[in-house]
Structure 1
């Protein structure tokens, strides 16, 4: 049994190392430069890692590139990267299409391709890249260099090179503090707001306050608790309004009001039921006495 486990472990490690070491296998690489009428001017067959001597193509020529992928997996990307050999270091990527048989190709017409090819006579390095999600090791092949001659008439204007430099410093000006209203005016309106409460207490002092209902509730603890909770929730709602007016923002106020309103609704129903019950009892007592 131990020998079988050892053999199985060795087999798994060997297969794992094979998968990790696997890379793309590319063959039948062919590079052609053809004129506008289809005449082949240059035809190179390459084998990795062979490098082409410098090629030359005019702005009306086309570049044909073919290859074959020998792996069973199809590549996720296959392209040739052109990089200008000057101060601008422009990069142009040309993607290739790959069939199910593994054969891939692209044809690049310089007159219709990226405008960077027509900014003048420039040299480009060519790098062939193949990659995919199931094979860790990508394929990178430096093919060589090609010189593409610019058009003889009406060449496109190259965009001005952007120079990054420090901009003038921005000085932010904060808005001046809002002027508060005069203290005398605000105090006057505060007294006007408190005037109804003063009148209420004055009338209570003249008419008197009937504490009989509270004495009656003393013999019914649940009703007394409901009354205390109801008046406490009403007081809490008033305090929330005051806090919103002074310093609390809207969303916390809505949360507090939601909880206090629910408590006031439940306890208020109980208090009103008690009041209605006492009123009916007094009505029955009045009927019996009459």
Structure 2
């Protein structure tokens, strides 16, 4: 019971303990160290005149964190400066080092700006101080508005264009193939078939004693000739040139063999007649 009451008293006393700043002041100096502006900082109301920094100016902020009741220096657990741009919504948080005695010093040199500084626009940055400690109530105060030179645009990567949206690819198709008139197609089809009509006509004029077209010795040769005609038609429809040469070579060997057999059969019949 006693320990619980003791913890409650400690919690109440911790909430009642307040922090404040002693001798808070900022100054702006040029590269030679000459002060251009130096003013105390109020925790109640921020400075009405914005702090304007050029590329060669240095901003220094000094203060001491003390216990409001005892005036003794305190080292808080966390101390930050917040730079906020209301126009772009960008912000940066910069930690500030505080000594065990509560003294702190922050320096902003635009020749070497901290990485936490947000990109700057033509709008001023609102600078706030945030202090937190487990033994004291948090302290937050708006210090002043800070005007900085505009940030340089980010360098363009050489491959940046590769990640942009490219124009839509539009395919251009060939027009459909125009077929010749049916009369012309029929004429050339007849021209292709004409040799077979001539062959059959001449064969019909031969003496009946001549070898028959469908005899076992001559029919394979006739079929091989018909296969050549079918191969050419197949090439026109589907086959490629390499396939036609392969199949034509195989068919040519068969045609030579059957042709020799047909000629030998005809020769034997003539010898038998004599």
- Band of TM-score, shorter chain: 0.3 to 0.5
User: Structure 2 length as normaliser, TM-score?
Assistant: 0.47
User: Structure 1 length as normaliser, TM-score?
Assistant: 0.45
Greater Rg over alpha carbons, structure: 2
Per residue, is there more helix in 1 or in 2?
Answer: 1
